[in-house]
């Protein structure tokens, strides 16, 4: 079932009261298509806030190959994929806190190659202790898998970034979703997109709402027809680093917010914000007990 008028009214009231109070974004509920399927209305409040956003909505990308999608997982709730995540060890999925902080019981984790599909209880979810939904700070969380992953050529972990990427660094994002903003159904294939990191100052200039920009964020440049959408929350942004013997995939951040979630079109020329791995390195490594990191340009 989809949200009814009463639920949409509650969504708007919640958003006005708690999320980004500096900007009223009730118009989110007035978009053309209500695209997120809701079964349990109270289960996940941030998902409700994004009711107009498809399960994921990379725009301007192409179909991802099996290798490009290898570290990517989908998070499912009530029979519908609502956020993404990235494999960082055989037992740990990195995502954003706003995708998992308010779980009631379980979240289902499915790998891109469909070889892994398991439910994980709320007790196995970790959210950064300083996460703040209103300010969108430390928007990072980890899911500890019950059943360990068995890695293959199409299912593998990425390395953590030891440092912040430089401006103009090319990042690669894999996520699933419709090929255009008006389609309610996810794409048959995961989508693959390239975006460039930009400076903090340029991020403020290019942001739809500069008040949500913080120095912890990694900002990516979105251009017309080439961006991510609100439902891509939790997807990893990766740098491909060439080393002796091959290429290392390094996760520098996690998609936290886009202009669409703040009340405008995905295809607008606005910055996309990602929670940085380097800025939350201690939290991540304390949970994983692993310091598998790689420096990026």
pLDDT of residue 61: 79
**Those residues with Cβ within 8 angstroms of residue 15's Cβ, 6 or more apart along the chain or in another chain:** 25, 26, 28, 49
Model pLDDT for residues 69-82, shown as the tens digit of each residue: 999 999 998 888 88
Number of domains in the chain: 3
Model pLDDT for residues 101-122, shown as the tens digit of each residue: 999 999 999 999 999 999 999 9
**Those residues with Cβ within 8 angstroms of residue 131's Cβ, 6 or more apart along the chain or in another chain:** 97, 98, 101, 137, 138, 139, 140, 141
Confidence of residue 54 (pLDDT cuts 50, 70, 90): very low
According to DSSP, the β-strands at 106-111 and 92-95 are unpaired
According to DSSP, the β-strands at 293-294 and 72-77 are unpaired
Count CB atoms within 10 A of the CB of residue 14.
14
Segment 252-280 shows an average pLDDT of: 79
Instruction: Assign 199 to helix, strand or coil.
Output: coil
Look at residue 60 and tell me if it is in a domain: no
In DSSP terms, 110 is beta-bridged to 74, 117
Confidence of residue 230 (pLDDT cuts 50, 70, 90): low
Q: Are 141 and 128 in contact (CB under 8 A)?
A: yes
pTM of the entire predicted model: 0.78
Confidence of residue 292 (pLDDT cuts 50, 70, 90): confident
Task: Give the residue numbers spanning the domain of 127.
Answer: 69-153+283-289
Look at residue 171 and tell me if it is in a domain: yes
Least confident interval from 25-34, 153-162, 167-176, 182-191: 25-34
Instruction: Give the H/E segment covering residue 5.
Output: helix 5-18
Look at residue 56 and tell me if it is in a domain: no
Residue 187 has pLDDT above 50, yes or no: yes
pLDDT of residue 188: 63
pLDDT of residue 262: 54
Residues 260 and 207 in one domain: yes
Residues 20 and 38 in one domain: yes
Residue 213 has pLDDT above 70, yes or no: no
pLDDT of residue 78: 85
pLDDT of residue 249: 97
Look at residue 63 and tell me if it is in a domain: no
Residue 126 has pLDDT above 90, yes or no: yes
pLDDT of residue 175: 86
pLDDT-above-90 percentage for the chain? 49
Residues 166 and 267 in one domain: yes
Residue 53 has pLDDT above 50, yes or no: no
Residues 242 and 177 in one domain: yes
pLDDT-above-70 percentage for the chain? 69
What CATH number does residue 116 fall under?
A: 2.40.10.10
For residue 58, what are the CA distances in angstroms to 7, 14, 258?
27, 26, 11
Look at residue 27 and tell me if it is in a domain: yes
């Amino acid at each position: 079932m989809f949200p009814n008028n009463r639920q949409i009214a509650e969504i708007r009231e919640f958003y006005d009261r708690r999320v980004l109070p500096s900007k009223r974004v009730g118009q989110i509920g007035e978009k053309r298509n209500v695209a997120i399927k809701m079964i349990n209305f109270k289960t996940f409040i941030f998902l409700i806030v994004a009711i107009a956003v498809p399960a994921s909505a990379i725009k301007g990308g192409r179909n991802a190959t099996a290798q490009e999608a290898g570290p990517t997982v989908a998070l499912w709730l009530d029979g519908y994929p609502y956020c993404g995540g990235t494999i960082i060890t055989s037992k740990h999925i990195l995502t954003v806190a706003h995708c998992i902080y308010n779980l009631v019981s379980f979240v289902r984790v499915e790998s891109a190659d469909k070889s892994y599909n398991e439910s994980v209880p709320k007790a196995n979810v970790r959210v950064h202790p300083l996460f703040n939904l209103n300010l969108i700070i430390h928007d990072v969380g980890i899911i500890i898998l019950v059943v360990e992953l068995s890695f293959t050529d199409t299912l593998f972990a990425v390395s953590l970034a030891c440092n912040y990427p430089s401006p103009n660094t090319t990042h690669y994002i894999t996520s699933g979703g419709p090929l255009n903003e008006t389609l309610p159904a996810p794409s048959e294939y995961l989508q693959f997109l390239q975006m460039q990191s930009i400076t903090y100052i340029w991020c403020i200039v290019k942001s739809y709402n500069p008040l949500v920009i913080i120095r912890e964020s990694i900002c990516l440049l979105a251009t017309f027809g080439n961006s991510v959408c609100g439902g891509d929350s939790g997807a990893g942004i990766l740098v491909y680093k060439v080393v002796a013997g091959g290429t290392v995939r390094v996760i520098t951040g996690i998609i936290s917010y886009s202009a669409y979630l703040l009340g405008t079109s995905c295809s607008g020329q606005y910055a996309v914000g990602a929670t940085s791995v380097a800025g939350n390195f201690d939290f991540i490594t304390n949970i994983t007990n692993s310091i598998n990191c790689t420096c990026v340009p």
